[in-house]
Structure 1
């Protein structure tokens, strides 16, 4: 029987993607592990592999198509002995019978309700009707006041909670009527469905969303402009940063550090490492300093998980990398255990593949702490927005030669670098944040200790 190949969920937060390129054509024979297509998510371009063998009977979605929802049929796979004539007459796997079985399995649970508070449940890949590798988009269900099940993605649930919307009153446009992000964003809160917002806003009051596209365009109708269409990455950045500034109680701690000893040590090490093709950057030292500091102040190595705090054991450091059209934060796992040269090599590899959009989801998801360094652009100081669910982010400025007062009271010149620690007050209190920033500064001012 012909089998549908479905649009995969290539990351836990993916709801739709762009079918960038087909790597097969109709009539091609494929085996398990063969590459079928290249799919663009909001963060990367990923290859999509077959898990079943057969012949491509029909390509349902043209390459270059944007906004293809997860679980949408994108191609038909024929088994031996089947022909294209079987496609229209055969019942499609993944139809009403599959939906009914999935609904029966998706009973609401306490854990599903908890996922609305901020952490998405683990994805489960349905085997029936799926002919390619990838994890299915997670979806949780609850019951409405009438007892009917309501299926919605974790992101849709979070937005609905923030805006005070009743999911039971929203018509879903996703597979099997599942409510997705667009459905919630386009819904208007009615008086009868207003609920308290999860963020603590006044009852029945939705989060401010700003002026509509039409209203803004009307302001500039007599001016010449070019409309820049948002891609998936830019939409995701806009949504996450808006969420961060609206829901995270930021506070900021600022400090300057003298990095003359660091610069001298870096020069000596680079001279010795040149034969191995390794060149340490100031950012490599900052990464190591933060990783060690999180071990020295372990209660700050934490993330916000909706109704609880998760305190991590390893120092998993996310580092912001500017790429075409936005930014991404690859994660250096177990950074406290790695040498400066290992961190430098790994960071260079992650940054290169990030700019080519070749990172796998596990390479840019997770972490408890972020670093954003704009010093290479001459920026002396700035404030960074926390990357949820991280507990803090360090903004690093340029090292600048400045006159300073020495320990003996004499005026001297030193290389000074400004740092700002943005902290989530729900996770880290002010005093603990200050202790963390002090530990980072001490590691940078006495860098030889980081080599011990």
Structure 2
């Protein structure tokens, strides 16, 4: 008897979802834990896994369709049969399969650490350290062929590399589409400023020398400073949503996190009303969840601003694109040493950090945007204010 597959409720505020991709075909067998289809919400793409072994019987909702939570998207039947020709099916996540094909790893040689021996991305990374090569026949079967002018004409001696085409995974495709839409529909404007970082670096170094203290990074100070600035300038804590202005009470701050699966932006809740140690703890937990693939759609929902910190990559300024559904994003560059004249005109070696604030002109104008940015700078240049136990 067929069992329905439903559009899951992936977050508290989710009412509908876009089914972006089916990863199994009608009649294909799957195991518990295999990814059946991918659902996109406002911020993230989520792989929906099978809760039991079975066979996909029908697809009701095709790729690209949006349906309400609870709607039937397909059906499956129970089956205890083996795969085609009695072959043993290797349990592996889609990401693990892509990584294995890219790195030439034989999946049969990888020990899976997931449920039922399912191979995860971390297992492939561990196998890659031992360099288990893929056989020539497997590599030929899985690797896409490069297209060259010579392969098309068969007569040219000087080939022109026309590149190699491949389809992006669902997470990459979601990110590309949403950022393109934001850049095309949100009127961005930008403000940049250099922060005197010497007091911040000195305080951080002294604070981290205390053995009982929480280890603080510059990102923790940035999240706290942006949160406090939202608290001090409530009119900046707003977003534009389909013709309405939505005002937030909670001083939530998103943080761009680069992972092996792509870029995610979890939100640190209440950053403007928490102590610096608590901000550090909340931020670390969100970063860990993002890198472990444990974020839910609710973890990336809400907030008027995000931070994209590229300071570790030796860049003076980063001019970012606003995260979908928000009104601002703060790009953070590296700390650079530069000579500046003092009050008497004598050169003084300074440590400066470049900030670029991208803002939605439907929410902020130049004056209000600069007021918010200068508020952030004030906390970073006088970081003792961020150590207050009762912000």
Same fold (TM over 0.5): yes
Q: Which residue does the alignment assign to 2:19?
A: 16
* Mapped partners of 2:2, 2:242: distance in 1: 43
Change (3 A) 1:2 1:47: closer
Superposed CA deviations along residues 195-247 of structure 1, whole A, max 9, x for unmatched, are xxxxxxxxxxxxxxxxxxxxxx99x9752422131111111111111111111
Aligned match of 2:86: none
Q: 1:346: how far off?
A: 2.1
Native 8 Å contact 1:5 1:77 kept in 2: no
Q: Is structure 2 residue 308 aligned with structure 1 residue 372? A: yes
For the 8 Å contact 1:44–1:360, the answer to whether it is kept is: no
Report SS of the residue matched to 1:60: strand
Indicate conservation of the 8 Å contact 1:19/1:68, yes or no. no
Query: Could you say if the C-alpha distance between residues 263 and 20 of structure 1 is closer, same or farther in structure 2, counting changes exceeding 3 Å?
Result: farther
- Structure 1 residues 85-130: Cα deviation after superposition (integer angstroms, max 9, x where no partner): xxxxxxxxxxxxxxxxxxxxxxxxxxxxxxxxxxxxxxxxxxxxxx
- Residue 73 of structure 1 is matched in structure 2 by 74
- Please say if 1:271 is aligned against 2:209: yes
Spell out, residue by residue over 1:140-196, the C-alpha distance to the aligned partner (whole angstroms, 9 max, x if none): xxxxxxxxxxxxxxxxxxxxxxxxxxxxxxxxxxxxxxxxxxxxxxxxxxxxxxxxx
1:248 to 186, 191, 195: 186
Whether 1:284 aligns to 2:220 is: yes
How far apart in 2 are the matches of 1:237 and 1:44? 9
Counterpart position of 2:6:
6
The answer as to whether partners of 2:7 and 2:17 remain within 8 angstroms in 1 is no
Query: Structure 1 61/230 Cα, relative in aligned 2: closer, same or farther at 3 Å?
Result: farther
CA contact (8 A) 1:57 1:75 kept: no
Distance in structure 2 (CA, Å) of the matches to 1:57 and 1:379: 49
Paired residues for 1:18-417 under 5 Å: 38=35, 40-41=38-39, 43=44, 58-60=54-56, 71-76=72-77, 222-272=160-210, 274-275=211-212, 278-407=214-343, 409-417=345-353
Q: Deviations over 1:326-367 (max 9, x none)?
A: 311000011112222222222222222212321111111211
Give aligned pairs, total: 296
Question: Matched residues in 1 for 2:374 and 2:332: separation?
Answer: 14
State the 1:392 CA deviation. 1.0
Which runs of 5 or more structure 2 residues have no equivalent in the other structure? Answer: 80-147, 153-159
Q: C-alpha distance in 1, partners of 2:186/2:5?
A: 40
- Pair 1:448-2:384 in alignment: yes
Contact 1:318–1:332, Cα closer than 8 Å, also in 2: yes
Shift of 1:255: 0.5
Distance 2:275 2:268 in 1: 12
Any idea what SS the aligned residue of 1:283 has?
helix
The Cα of 1:417 is off from its aligned counterpart by 0.5
How far residue 59 of structure 1 moved from its aligned partner, in angstroms, is 2.7
Structure 2: distance between partners of 1:358 and 1:20: 20
| Cα displacement (A) at 1:72 | 1.9
